[in-house]
A and B are shown apart, each in its own frame.
Chain A
Amino acid sequence: MPSLAGLFFWMNRKIETINKITITKPLKLDCGKTIKNFPLAYETYGKLNENKDNAILVFHALTGDQFVTGTNPITNKEGWWVTAVGPGKAIDTDKYFVICANVIGGCMGSLGPKDTNPENNQPYGLDFPVITIKDMVKAQESLLEHLGIKKLLCATGGSMGGMQLLQFCATFPDKAFSAIPIACSSSHSAQNIALNELARQAIMADPVWDNGKYVSKNVQPKNGLAVARMVGHISYLSEKGMQEKFGRKLQEKADYEFSFNADFQVESYLRHQGYAFVERFDANSILYITRAMDYFDLSKQYKGGLVEAFKNQDTKFLVISFSSDWLYTTKENKDIVIALNASGADVSYSEIVTDRGHDSFLLNEPEFLKTLKGFIDSMYEKFKNEKRI
């Protein structure tokens, strides 16, 4: 196994080769600071047609990146939404032009805390400005400008991706013909803030973290980051799903070892997920992105609350939730539907019944994928007709 430092060096070199634009326009962040001339990494799939009416923007979740489908060239693993996006899939790249950008604050080529601070030529670390969901979305809007797309056929995203999408629709009400927020919320709940805080505290408790200054030493607080990831993985499953998947099954052994090794399969699963994650993600990015999620409260941005946020929407919405998702519950998703209804927006809603928890949107859930496909295909027909008129 290569050393972690070597791995970082190799990953950083590969990151140099991915698509990115430099956003020259200054972006005033919610925290008051301004960033300019910063990189935004993105990936596209399929072809933009002549009328430019087949573009779909995907917003990624907390630990996602721009590599939606196919093989992620950095990790050599499958893209995170390969179940839904690709040739012949629900979001069919033979038909649609799919765009996804790495969020700012992330670590897959867009400006993030591991980049060099031009002021002192040191990695930003905690000098990186605190960013918000709105900042992320504004940066991505510049990408659309760059690609020459005036109006998207559809924008979609699950989890934090859904939160970005709601913000996008509120801030740029005429940029998307249709929108599919999936398993998300219009404001982060106390429980979700608590879980994020647990993840952050795990990272900060790792002595290697060193107030975020580990980057210049080419190390990573991998123990803390792995625990942070384990917290996440527990929250992505449901109690029933976890029981069915693991139960009390032991990991390749006949009986207890009477030790603290991973006796149970569920322990082994968490350790595997945790330590696989440290190879592709930056600990400080987790701090910044979870903070952005916690600060997200769309209703707070508008005097009249959430209903006001969605006023004057021409966008056609489809909200989707999963019955066993306890992280972004059906109730929270329905609150979005209620607000959209109250503001007179065109909204559909479907609750997919499944035991697979929050993770469902990333999995092969036939009912979910059918709904997704049906909506996007029917929206494409409408959008084409509308453009013709």
Chain B
Amino acid sequence: MKSLKMKKEFKVIAELLPNNTRVLDVGCGDGSLMNFLKEEKNIEVRGLELNQENVQQCIHKGLPVIQGNAETELHQFPNQSFDYVVLSQTLQAFYNPEEVLKNLLRIGKAVVISIPNFGYWKVRMKLLLFGEMPVTKTLPNTWYNTPNLHMCTIKDLFKFCYEKNINIKQVIGVNEDKTSLIKKSNLEIKNLFSKLGIFLIG
């Protein structure tokens, strides 16, 4: 494999996606994940991105991207038109994450979601010991300028999937360069020590 510089989270997501599939990257940013999937895994990629500059970067890289807001514009993608839909660290920023998730599951045969874990011990400590809203590397914003409206923990998303009858295929916890499989049996401990949770559902 070419050594494309990419953050650990994207490497984990990329490993979850089989070669030669069709993938929609919702909130695709500057297209670095899409580029990797396309070049290394022969995946047919499409992106949805709100930011003009990011859209331009994708277009410069020759990556198909649609400028738009996932909150309001997922309706344009037909049912089950992608093998996978990827949503990286934005679920918590939507007004209505439940509706967005429903749409993702409608569009993709399976969905990969990553969330910054509000259950991570440093986050919990910050609130418990200092009585302040946590600011960490994964959650760099302060309470008044954070885009995150619906923070949740890995455990919350687990519970949500059970309640809504959404099939969980695999959950991976990420802490810096380390990854681990999360199951019902180790959920409590992994919820404490994972900075990110990556869910494969649907």
Mark A residues whose CB is within 8 Å of B.
316, 318, 334, 337-338, 341-342, 344, 346-353, 367, 370-371, 374-375, 377-379, 381-382
Q: Known contacts A338-B76, A341-B78, A344-B81; decide if A351 and B59 are in contact (CB<8 Å).
A: no
Residue pair B59, A371 in contact (C-beta under 8 Å): yes
B67 touches A351 (CB 8 A): yes
Nearest B residue to A346 via CB reads B64
Given contacts A341-B78, A342-B78, contact A371 B65 (CB under 8 A): no
Interface residue? B160 (CB, 8 A):
no
8 A-B pairs (CB sep. < 8 Å) = A334-B68, A334-B76, A341-B81, A347-B66, A348-B66, A349-B66, A370-B56, A374-B60
Q: Are A337 and B66 in contact (CB under 8 A)?
A: yes
Residues of A within 8 A of B162 (CB): none
Complex Cα gap A370–B58 (Å):
12
Whether B62 pairs with A367 at a CB distance below 8 angstroms is no
Q: Of residues 49 to 84 in B, which have CB atoms within 8 Å of A's CB atoms?
A: 52, 55-56, 58-68, 73, 76-78, 81
B78: chain A residues at CB < 8 Å are: 341-342
CA distance A353 to B67 in the complex (A): 12
| Most chain B Cβ neighbours within 10 Å, of A341, A342, A351, A367 | A341
Q: Beyond the given A350-B52, A374-B60, A378-B62, could you list 10 further A-B residue pairs with CB under 8 A, ordered by the A residue number? A: A342-B76, A342-B78, A348-B59, A348-B66, A350-B59, A352-B52, A353-B52, A367-B52, A375-B59, A378-B61
Min CB distance A225 to B, Å, is 38
Given contacts A344-B81, A370-B56, A374-B56, contact A379 B62 (CB under 8 A): yes
| Residue pair B77, A348 in contact (C-beta under 8 Å) | no
Contact partners of B62 in chain A: CB under 8 A? 378-379, 381-382
Does A371 contact B76, Cβ atoms closer than 8 Å?
no
| Chain A at the B interface: SS class | helix
Chain B interfacial positions (CB closer than 8 Å to A): 52, 55-56, 58-68, 73, 76-78, 81
Smallest CB separation, A309 vs chain B (Å):
16
B residues in contact with A342, CB < 8 Å: 76, 78, 81
B75 and chain A: residue at smallest CB distance:
A338
- Are A374 and B59 in contact (CB-based, < 8 A)? yes
Which A residues are CB-close (under 8 A) to B52?
350, 352-353, 367
**Chain B residues near A316 (CB-CB < 8 A):** 64
Contacts of A350 in B (CB 8 A): 52, 55-56, 59, 67
Contacts of A382 in B (CB 8 A): 62
Known: A347-B66, A349-B66, A349-B67. A337 touches B76 (CB 8 A): yes
Distance in Å from the Cβ of A167 to the closest Cβ of chain B?
22
Which residue of chain A lies nearest to B61 when distances are taken between CB atoms in the complex?
A: A378
- Of the candidates A318, A337, A344, which one forms a contact with B59 in the assembled complex, judged by CB atoms under 8 Å apart? A318
- Report the bound CA distance from A353 to B64 in whole Å: 20
User: Complex Cα distance A350/B56, Å?
Assistant: 8
Contact A349 B56, beta carbon cutoff 8 Å: no
Return B172 CB to nearest CB of chain A, in Å: 30
Which 3 residue pairs are nearest across A and B when measured between Cβ atoms?
Answer: A378-B62, A374-B60, A338-B76
Residues in B neighbouring A341, C-beta threshold 8 A: 66, 76-78, 81
Bound CA span A240–B78, Å:
36
Shortest CB-to-CB span from B197 to chain A, Å, is: 30
In the complex, which residues of chain A have a beta carbon less than 8 angstroms from the beta carbon of B73?
334
Closest partner residue, chain A, to B22 (CB atom): A344
Cα distance, A10 to B76, chains bound together (Å): 53
Which residues of A have CB within 8 Å of B67?
349-351
Cβ of A352: which chain B residues have Cβ within 8 Å of it? 52
Q: For the complex, what is the distance from the CA of A351 to the CA of B52, rounded to whole Å?
A: 8
A92 to B: closest C-beta gap in Å: 15
Give CA–CA (A379, B65) in the complex, Å.
14
Name the A residues within 8 Å of B81 (CB-CB).
341-342, 344
Contacts of B60 in A (CB 8 A): 374-375, 377-378
